[in-house]
Structure 1
Amino acid sequence: MPRFLSSPFFVVVFILFFAVSARATMFPDFRLNSEFSAQQAQTLGIPQTTKAFSPYDVKTDFLIVEIFSMYCPHCQRQAPIMNEFMKMLHQSSYADKFGVVGIGAGNSDFEVGIFRDEYKIDFPLISDEDFTAYTATGEHGTPHFFLIDMRNGKNRGAILYEHDGVFPDPKEFLDDILAETDLKK
């Protein structure tokens, strides 16, 4: 073994590198203007009077965020699959551990409302007309999903899982989500 590999300096640099790189990526904090029904507010654990939504206001153990656009044909195709996923989640023993919110990238309140009504979406959808959340989350294609750890502690806000594009099987998506948490053990 080369001598420099056993030097104390190299060992310290090696440990620091992996300690920093092992740290979870944190979901960005942002505020979006929005209004919620009593049921939506209760699901997210926030007051119904909330007018500016931040993902860090959510009082659930985990938050699933879907970035979508009403004009995206993939998002339109995803909507009934997402409704099936929500049905499965609500019927699971883990339903109270998750909040779900959709953020309409570049969409106005009116456009988000059309998408909600057309596809009968029952989880909160929020407009992001000026691309605040879309830009903050990395400008991914739509749909894009994040699973965020919202429990108190040093990992609050950690992105546990991401999925880019349509997921065809809601059961598989639920299994993938649960596998990234410590719930299904």
Structure 2
Amino acid sequence: MLLCAVLVSGWSGVSLAQPPVGGTLPEFTLSAPKDGGEKSYLGLSWLNRSFRIPELKAQVVIVEIFSMYCPYCQAEAPKVNQLYGMIEGNPVLKGKIKILGIGVGNSPYEVGVFKKKYNIPFPLFPDGDFRIHKLMGEVRTPYFIGVKIGSDGSHSVFYSKLGAFDSADSFLKSVIRLSGLQ
């Protein structure tokens, strides 16, 4: 009987593996930010209501999987903000590398509280129902994924790791080296 229930449900409760280096991101969409500045940062037109990460106007996207309740994510926030500042302050990297965060188990309100409390300058997206989190293999937080986007819209994961990084500078150097960004 239990086997029948599992087969009928289509294994919907089973999570996938974390995104492997050399693989691709699972298929999911995010709602476009309402904020015009965040839409512009991501390279989305005002017509976009939703998007997939490989559709962003960037060569590299760094995805941070976080939770507002995660003390490690809270401690990491200043370094991630510093990383964002280093990218946006460098005319060679600005526009080529984008950062976004996905708040697992967090409502829009909770993501907003985290964004305000830690002065997060890049877009954050709620995943209140854990849908994206399950697709990402239910990784612990903070978890960073580096995605290289091809000019043809293809993409590949070049970085997929749990935990904080040592410094914004060393992490940025790793992102540039591992992604092959020129």
Q: TM-score range by the shorter chain?
A: 0.7 to 0.9
1:88 shift after superposition: 0.9
Q: Which is higher, the Rg of structure 1 or of structure 2?
A: 1
Cα distance in 1 for partners of 2:121, 2:47 equals 19
1:34 shift after superposition: 4.6
Cα distance in 1 for partners of 2:100, 2:61 equals 8
1:95 shift after superposition: 1.6
For structure 1, the 5+ residue unaligned runs are 1-22
Indicate how the Cα distance of structure 1 residues 38 and 28 shifts in structure 2: closer, same or farther if over 3 A, else same.
Answer: same
For structure 2, the 5+ residue unaligned runs are 1-20
Determine the structure 2 residue equivalent to 1:182: 180
What TM-score does the superposition give when structure 2 sets the normalisation length? 0.82
TM alignment of 1:111-130, pairs within 5 A: 111-130=110-129
Q: Find the residue that maps to 1:96 and give its secondary structure.
A: coil
What TM-score does the superposition give when structure 1 sets the normalisation length? 0.81
1:101 shift after superposition: 0.8
Cα distance in 1 for partners of 2:45, 2:100 equals 15
Cα distance in 1 for partners of 2:175, 2:89 equals 15
How many residue pairs were aligned?
Answer: 161
TM alignment of 1:28-177, pairs within 5 A: 28-92=26-90, 93-153=92-152, 156-177=154-175
1:49 shift after superposition: 4.2
Q: Which amino acid aligns with 1:39?
A: G
State the identity as a percent: 33
Q: Find the residue that maps to 1:95 and give its secondary structure.
A: coil
Determine the structure 1 residue equivalent to 2:18: none
**RMSD (CA atoms):** 1.8
Larger displacement relative to structure 2 (166-175 or 39-48): 39-48
1:152 shift after superposition: 2.8
Moved over 6 A (4+): none
- Alignment check: 8 A CA contact 1:60 1:151 kept: no
Structure with the bigger percentage of helix: 1
Higher relative contact order (CA 8 A, sep 6+): 2
Cα distance in 2 for partners of 1:52, 1:168 equals 33
